[in-house]
Chains A and B, each alone.
Chain A
Amino acid sequence: MKTMRMGLLGKKIGMTRIFKENVTIPITVIETGPCAVTKKKSPDKDGYGAIQIGFDECSEKKMTKPVAGQFQKSKVSPRRVLNEIRLSEDELAKYAIGQEIKVDSVFSAGDIIDVVGTSKGSGFTGVIKRHNFKSFKETHGTHEVKRHGGSIGAAFPQHVLKGTRMAGQHGNSRTTLQNLEIVEVRPDENLLFVKGSIPGAKGGYVMVKKAVKL
């Protein structure tokens, strides 16, 4: 059973610092919402209750005709990103198709949240950076193999075990950071100030959800 927790889609704007009571706080600024409810899923019809929310308005030309048709059906202006949030039946009744959800209706200062985003891609990376392997000695006779992974297995079982850590694509994957604190909410500008850093590059889309471990 998935936990039911409300969230919103947003865009990472960047990082800065603010001062509160003479103390400096590092913050990430996220442009959160307004998100429109584009679809509702009911337990009777679909087997589970959820709302689909859309964020970042864009032209209809940016999408394929089948996707554009969905927006015409729900009478919501086209949005670039869509995401589904599972909700309990009581919560589900609060939202109607076409409704715009503002940031202050979901989050307030002091809340603990999780942020899901796509981490910055590092491309094809060696084991030292990707899995924090130790590198070889720089001196004392080491040559050619300073950043190699070493052995990848023993003579038995005569094959390399599945999941053995090797070089490969690093980053550019779905990443969740848990238990971040909201420092401030600015409903006029749809901004959310989160203490610390969040995954991804500036301009990247993120999902802000209420914390699962609370």
Chain B
Amino acid sequence: MDTIKKIEKEFLKDRIEDFSIGDTLKVHLKIKEGTRERTQLFMGTLIARKGTGLNETITLRKISYSEGVERVLILHSPMVEKIEVVRKGQVRQAKLYYLRDKVGKKAKVKEKK
């Protein structure tokens, strides 16, 4: 297994921004369009963080034009350029899958004071 760990180490990012479940994050994504490269923003609530090492992923959920949108992002991927914490959330669960069934005010996470 040591060989695998050594390979994975080359691709791990030195530093991952500090955030926790329930936070609203703004993620800068590198998108390639033909030869041009641009940055796309995706803002949503962090509802799950899974995996370890190179396989660590985050799931962001947002409501876009009254339709729920979720994106699963690989944390160590070079596509994920930067992560900003917009708002801290006050939650009790590690996975906020219950938000999928809620609408309106109940589908919101309380702000951490």
Contacts and interface: CB of A to CB of B under 8 A. Distances in A.
15 contacts: A14-B1, A14-B3, A14-B4, A15-B4, A16-B7, A19-B76, A19-B77, A19-B78, A21-B32, A22-B32, A22-B77, A24-B74, A24-B77, A31-B3, A189-B3
Nearest to B32: A22
Given A16-B54, A17-B54, A17-B55, A22 B4 contact: no
B8 interface: yes
Nearest to A15: B4
A115 interface: no
A158 to B, nearest CB: 56
Q: Can you list the 5 inter-chain pairs with the closest CB atoms, starting with the nearest? A: A22-B79, A14-B4, A13-B3, A22-B78, A16-B4
B42 interface: no
A145 interface: no
Contacts of B3: 13-14, 29, 31, 189, 191
Interface in B6-42: 7-8, 11, 30, 32
A81 interface: no
Contact of A18 (B1, B11, B55, B79): B11
